Amino acid sequence: MAKIKSGDQVIVITGKNKGATGKVLRVLDGKVVVEGVNVVKRHQKPNPMRGVEGGIVSKNAPINVSNVAIFNPETKKADRVGIKLVETEGKVKRVRVFKSNGAQIDA
């Protein structure tokens, strides 16, 4: 089970964007794309077939997953993720929980 998933609220713990928070847009192999973090400018050629205009475009670049931590809204700090087994209706499910207070992560 992945500790950080798409849609999670994360905080950057190291690097040039340290302290920035944002929502995970995509999870790649060992990297995550976070909304509003690691924004780079790229030159884009126009493509009239797709209706794409040319020019300088800002886009979110991936950041290493080790440089982000999940954001705990109760403590307003970065937190670690643990896995807990919960039994519901006779079935055992694995759920993600915050290590600091044991609250279940909604995602």
Whole-angstrom Cα Rg for the chain: 18
67/89 Cα distance (integer angstroms): 38
Overall number of domains in the chain:
1
Q: Does residue 80 fall inside a structural domain?
A: yes
60 φ, ψ to 5°?
Answer: -85, 125
Q: What range defines the domain where residue 31 resides? A: 9-98
CATH number at residue 60: 2.30.30.30
Q: Does residue 103 fall inside a structural domain?
A: no
Predicted TM-score of the model (pTM): 0.82
Q: Does residue 3 fall inside a structural domain?
A: no
pLDDT in tens, the chain (107 residues): 689 999 999 999 999 999 999 999 999 999 999 999 999 999 999 999 999 999 999 999 999 999 999 999 999 999 999 999 999 888 999 999 999 988 998 74
